[in-house]
A and B are shown apart, each in its own frame.
Chain A
């Protein structure tokens, strides 16, 4: 293990943070708000920590998988730590725990907040909050790699260490090309949404920050009432379109742009993702129309926005979903567990794994009828390797177990069971709002400090897809004898 090489690459991640802190600092200067000094000092400290290793450590073109894993996990941890500096220095509602919670929630694109009055926070700090979403959305390391010149084999290892195991299977491009596609689609979607929101009447600041939060499927808004603040069907429609797009594998979006529209419609995962959400929207719209005072149009509008927001792990809100009927709330919980497609910025179990599980179940039924038959699982004509099927099922099981462990710990801390369970589901899936006190119009400020730490752990676990996190905290994995 070459620690100095790890330090060099982690420093690059810190430099990316310092860059966005500087932009936030400039915004603070323009608006003459109280966040200027906290942002300036944070930017300087992060910049110095980012620059120093680059002066000492020469570039390494080859890194091992173990080093790649350490770089990815450390980059996330240190980015979250550096990201909490502006909040800590600003003070106000930000204690150390609250600052860490807000920063982790930003970088992991969860979008849960401890703030009770978002509009009282200075613009510079709000921009930094949105920036953490945008840096974290694509993945800190992918973000860094996309702006650096080709790093040779080191880039391949870092790319594979950062992306979801599901993405590795269905990203049929070389690492450099894949990074370019991810970054290109990410930037393109952000620009398009910003322009669309400006046309819908949002000011530039709100349009940029909301685009950052939508494309990263984060959910931090600059308004206390989130998207409900604007009371604009046009803005809601634009955000819905971009939330849906951000939940689709970026390579498929790239294929559509480059003319291969068939690839998009042939994808069984995308079909499942769109059909399942369409079905859930219809059920919720019917359910809230029958139980509430809303007309058909309002029911469909609310159901579509809030389901898509949860189902893509974004977390924006236009209504208090905590008061919806039980059936609708259960569907929200299901989509908060599942979320969108691999290869997107979405969190959660991911639609790809659900498709594999459904196909695996179907294969098992076939095997009961024909015990000697060898029936492979195919997705879009490609055979899914048995170890990937096993990994997917194992991932889903461990995911659910972690959600339950977190719920038990939170209930033990005195959090009510609805808030604890929905909060654990929402943070593990990087969704944001849950139900109860942590619902779409609530926040996490009332959760006791140890509870907030549990939520931040589930956020990081969800973002790093569990295994990388556990490997990092398993001492035997760092023994010199273990190589991978």
Chain B
């Protein structure tokens, strides 16, 4: 194998090592980026929707209290807007299911909300329910708490998933860094090895050849240089050896 190929192979290996490490790091970093985006898109949006549902539910509870106090107009207006907000957000949540178990939680919220809604949809003002705190605490408030509990469970599920995904990101970030670190250390070791081999197989023989040629010129010391490799350096040494022998023959003849 020629010197050019040998030296080129050294640089190619070095480049290949760095190229793969770089590509892998970029891939991992891009994955981290998309994972962060996924957390924002899926979990964070779901958590926000659940919080709005909770807020709407609390408004509905206030509206029910207004109805119990006989404020029919304000109560109905507040109930209508809160109900539409709740429905809008639960539909949004149903369309953005991304976690295992999320669908079951939403189904539960939906059914419990139906029970709760069924209680305030019927007239309260001018009925026995008006100012009936016993009815409120026994019927309404319990239904309200059931729905709220289901929403809280949905928030917890999303929170936990978000935490798990974030924890995995830590591992991925180390995976993105590690190839770079290993490539750097490997490149350093490789450079030393490359330098040692180039020095041993090319620099040292060239110095020896130069030295022997000088000795031949000055003292006619026989040019005996042993080259371990089978490449251009060996050919050069052979050629110089032939040249020296020719010079010796010519000198003897003259």
Could you tell me which A residues sit within 8 Å of B by CB distance? 3-4, 7, 37-38, 41, 44-45, 48-49, 51-53, 55-58, 85, 88-92
Contact = CB atoms under 8 A, between A and B. Distances in A.
A57 B201 CA distance: 8
B6 A55 contact: yes
8 contacts: A4-B200, A41-B24, A48-B16, A52-B194, A55-B1, A56-B6, A56-B201, A89-B182
Contacts of B171: 91-92
Contacts of B197: 4, 7, 53, 56-57
Given A41-B24, A45-B182, A3 B17 contact: no
A56 B228 CA distance: 10
Contacts of A58: 228-230
Interface of B: 1, 6, 9-10, 13, 16-17, 20-21, 24, 27, 171, 174-175, 178-179, 182-183, 186, 189-190, 193-194, 196-197, 200-201, 228-230
Nearest to B172: A91
Task: Please indicate which of the listed interface residues A37, A45, A49, A58 has the most CB atoms of chain B within 10 Å of its own CB.
Answer: A45
Given A88-B182, A89-B182, A52 B230 contact: no
Contact of B13 (A3, A4, A52, A88): A52
B17 A89 contact: no
Given A41-B21, A44-B17, A89-B179, A52 B190 contact: yes
Nearest to A60: B228
Nearest to B21: A41
A281 B171 CA distance: 46
A425 to B, nearest CB: 34
A7 B182 contact: no
Contacts of A44: 16-17, 20
A7 B193 contact: yes
Contact of A48 (B1, B13, B27, B178): B13
Nearest to B9: A55
* Interface of B (DSSP majority class): helix
A44 B175 CA distance: 17
A154 to B, nearest CB: 15
Contact of A89 (B9, B175, B229): B175
Contacts of A7: 193, 197
**What 9 A-B pairs come out closest when comparing CB atoms?**
A56-B197, A48-B13, A91-B171, A91-B174, A89-B178, A91-B175, A55-B9, A45-B186, A4-B200
Contacts of A90: 175
Contacts of A52: 9-10, 13, 190, 193-194
Nearest to A88: B178
Contacts of B24: 37, 41
Task: Please indicate which of the listed interface residues A48, A49, A90 has the most CB atoms of chain B within 10 Å of its own CB.
Answer: A48
Nearest to B5: A55
A107 B230 CA distance: 36
A53 B178 CA distance: 25
A49 B230 contact: no
A48 B197 CA distance: 15
Nearest to A44: B20
A4 B196 contact: yes
Nearest to B176: A91
A45 B230 contact: no
Contacts of A56: 6, 197, 201
B17 A48 contact: yes
Contacts of B201: 4, 56
B196 A3 contact: yes
Given A38-B175, A41-B179, A91-B175, 13 more contacts: A4-B196, A37-B24, A41-B20, A44-B16, A45-B182, A48-B17, A49-B186, A51-B13, A55-B1, A55-B9, A57-B197, A58-B230, A91-B178
A263 to B, nearest CB: 45
Contact of B193 (A53, A88, A92): A53
A7 B180 CA distance: 25
Nearest to A3: B196
Task: Please indicate which of the listed interface residues B1, B27, B200, B230 has the most CB atoms of chain A within 10 Å of its own CB.
Answer: B200
A53 B201 CA distance: 12
Contact of A85 (B9, B16, B182, B194): B182
B197 to A, nearest CB: 4
Contacts of B21: 41
A85 B178 CA distance: 10
A41 B18 CA distance: 11
Contacts of B189: 49
A55 B230 CA distance: 11
Nearest to B28: A37
A7 B197 CA distance: 10
Given A52-B190, A55-B1, A45 B17 contact: yes
A3 B190 CA distance: 15
Nearest to A45: B186
Contacts of A89: 175, 178-179, 182
B163 to A, nearest CB: 17
Contacts of B200: 4
Contacts of B9: 52, 55
Contacts of A85: 182
Contacts of B183: 45
Nearest to B174: A91
A58 B189 CA distance: 21
B4 to A, nearest CB: 12
Contacts of B17: 44-45, 48
Contacts of B186: 45, 49
A153 B197 CA distance: 24
Contacts of B175: 37-38, 89-91
Contacts of A48: 13, 16-17, 190
Nearest to B186: A45
Contacts of A49: 186, 189-190
A62 to B, nearest CB: 13
Nearest to B200: A4
A52 to B, nearest CB: 6
A38 to B, nearest CB: 8
A58 B6 CA distance: 12
Nearest to A5: B228
Contacts of A41: 20-21, 24, 179, 182
Contacts of A4: 196-197, 200-201
Contacts of B194: 52
Contacts of B182: 41, 45, 85, 88-89
Nearest to A46: B186
A21 to B, nearest CB: 14
B177 to A, nearest CB: 10
A90 B174 CA distance: 9
Contacts of A92: 171
